[in-house]
Amino acid sequence: MGLAKTTRLNRIFSNPDGRIFSLAVDHGIGLSMPEGLRNVPATLAQLVELGPDAVTLSKGMAKSAWEPYAGQVPLIVQTIIFPPDDVPRIKATRAEEALMLGADAVAVSLIVRGKSEAANCNTLAQIVDEADRYDLPVVAHIYPHDFSYADKPSVVLTDHENILWAVRCGIEFGADVIKVPFTGDVEGFREIVESSPVPVVCAGGPKTETFDEVLDMMRKIVASGSRGAVVGRNIWGSKDPVGTMRTMQGIVHPR
């Protein structure tokens, strides 16, 4: 790992406890338009002042809405348009573009366990190769899906074996940080974390039914030894985004 990549990763993992609490604001690409992201500049104005360890945005939103916060919080630029069905991911941003936007890392979202798995992993490998030329870290967002349901959308898999497989895909194709769904099992997830030579962080979704559920998930994520959480819907999708984010941050980064 080059010095520049180490520097960028150290900016993202700057908290003394070694964990991150990162805000994801890239959900709207290729999916529905959630209420909490209908006005992204307003959402950022509310939440960035709370000091997330990093914020993930698409290229276009970074270009148009991130300037007021440039240099204040590490920026991760999402490179992928991610439709929910089992088709190869669409690369929307080059590593060089992300670097010119001031990004400290790029994100690559992909689905595994479907027919598109090989193509998606190939896209990850290509982006890693491209990013390595600039010493730009790659954060792989990897979600195992079950596409066997003919009458309803695919289901995100969170069992031990499928999450272990997702993490292995990220390792083998060169990701510097791997984000996967939490399994819900503290001891089992600890085994997954300990099997990985690169940091494993947890997705903060799906949207939970109650506030207590998401707080319980955050506590288990910390207890598992995960290097932190990347949260979107359970913050900007809540009735009180600021209060929700502050409480969740307090669990990941206890004083």
Q: Which residues are catalytic?
A: 26, 143, 179
DSSP string, 193-204: HHH-SS-EEEE-
- How many whole angstroms separate alpha carbon 190 and alpha carbon 112? 21
Record the tokens describing residue 228, joined without a space: 């932190």
| Phi, psi of 144, rounded to the nearest 5 degrees | -70, 135
Q: Residue 54 in contact with residue 76, Cβ under 8 Å? A: yes
HSE-CB of 2 using CA atoms within 13 angstroms: 10
Q: Contacts for 216-224 with beta carbons within 8 Å, 24 or more apart?
A: 217/182, 217/184, 218/248, 218/251, 218/252, 219/251, 220/182, 220/184, 220/186, 220/189, 221/182, 221/189, 221/252, 222/19, 222/251, 222/252, 223/186, 224/182, 224/186, 224/187, 224/189, 224/190, 224/193
Question: What residue has token string 């207590």?
Answer: 212
- Residues listed for the chain: 255
